[in-house]
Amino acid sequence: MRVNSFHFGFIIHFYVLYLSLLSGLPSPFFGPKGVRLLLAFRGFCGFVALVGIYCSLQYLSLPDATVLTFLAPLCTGVAGAFFLGETFTRRQALAGVFSLAGVVLIARPATIFGDYSNLWGAGAGFLREPNENVTSAERLFAVCMAMLGVSGTTGAFVLIRAIGKRAHPLHYLICYSTLYVVVSSVAMLATKTQFVIPTGQGWLLASFGIFGFLAQVFLTMGLQRETAGRGTMAVYTQIVFATVLDQIFFHSVPSTLSVIGTLIILTSTLYVAYTKERGKTAHITCDQPIHESFEEGFLGRTQENQANYAGNDQDWRQEGRT
């Protein structure tokens, strides 16, 4: 039995919510005082990201939607530098552009490659829906929804950086999953979608929930400890793992372009990981005082980063004089 996106999303996020609540976290649905509004916005941004991706897939092929979705790490680095005062160097931006180029080589969207989308082999099996009946207006709508999803993902990542360690990683998941479960339930009722757990596939849905839970926890923990520009570079490795697992479980042979794209992504990610900037990254821990308002909670991280980087600039100048 096939399930629609809201049905599928409800089951997955219900698993994530259930696993998060098993931790016995204090104040699980609201989070610590001073960052509650930020947590709510993070959940809203995550929901917008998923809705944008799901809607874009109605009229875009999977390769086209994949390439647009992977604009989020670059946008997050720029947004982190603009809103939080974090460092986003030209080297990191260049590595992000190369990684995005690697995604293009792996996905090979027909929008860019045209009739040569299967150039040098058709492997690394991305499903290539023909979408021959899609009008230009529908395609434009899908692209706009995909960019809305990118904006939601960017906002969610930046808000995680703004909150930092003032909230437990599970607070992020509970807020986000609760919102999605509620909205998807309303959507299924409005569309009169029958809620049925597919027989014989319960283990598969449970696996989605468990791995989705672990992915969100580790992603949040990583962004709590690293700047937005550097932290989100790891997101590009998702398509590398997808290509490798596709070969292992479905025995698809990757094309030459897919191998080249994979090597580009791995090289760029390792380059960013092993070239630590001289500036220190500011962190806000739970031991620090909690701000009471949304503005203070968001701007507190920006002011601390700017003060930290100003001190680093002074140190560099003194070193240059010596």
pLDDT tens for residues 225-273?
888 888 898 888 888 888 888 888 877 777 788 888 889 999 998 888 8
Mean pLDDT to the nearest integer, 50-72: 85
Report the domain count for the chain: 1
| Per-residue pLDDT band at 130 (split at 50, 70, 90) | very low
In contact, 34 and 290? CB cutoff 8 Å: yes
In contact, 207 and 160? CB cutoff 8 Å: no
DSSP 3-state helix, strand, coil percentages of the chain (rounded to 5)? 70, 0, 30
DSSP per-residue string spanning 209-260: HHHHHHHHHHHHHHHHHS-HHHHGGGGGHHHHHHHHHHHHHH-PPPPHHHHH
Record the tokens describing residue 173, joined without a space. Answer: 């998941």
In contact, 35 and 164? CB cutoff 8 Å: no
In contact, 124 and 252? CB cutoff 8 Å: yes
pLDDT tens for residues 63-98?
788 888 999 999 999 999 999 998 888 888 999 999
pLDDT tens for residues 140-185?
898 899 999 999 999 999 999 999 999 999 999 998 899 888 988 8
Q: Is 158 helix (H, G, I), strand (E, B) or coil?
A: helix
Answer positive or negative: Cα dihedral of 252, 253, 259, 261: negative
- Choose the most confident range, by mean pLDDT, from 7-11, 73-77, 131-135, 233-237: 73-77
Query: Whose CA is closest to 42, among 208, 146, 169?
Result: 169
In contact, 26 and 174? CB cutoff 8 Å: no
Mean pLDDT taken over the chain: 78
Would you state the pLDDT for residue 2?
56
Residues 6+ apart with CB under 8 A from 199: 1
| Per-residue pLDDT band at 199 (split at 50, 70, 90) | low
Domain residues for the domain of 71 are 5-321
Query: Whose CA is closest to 243, among 231, 224, 257?
Result: 257
Residues 6+ apart with CB under 8 A from 37: 294, 297
Would you state the pLDDT for residue 6?
74
Query: Whose CA is closest to 31, among 122, 133, 164?
Result: 164
57 has pLDDT over 70: yes
287 has pLDDT over 70: no
Select the more confidently predicted residue: 77 or 187.
Answer: 77
Share of the chain above pLDDT 70, in %: 76
Q: How far is CA 147 from the centre of its chain?
A: 13
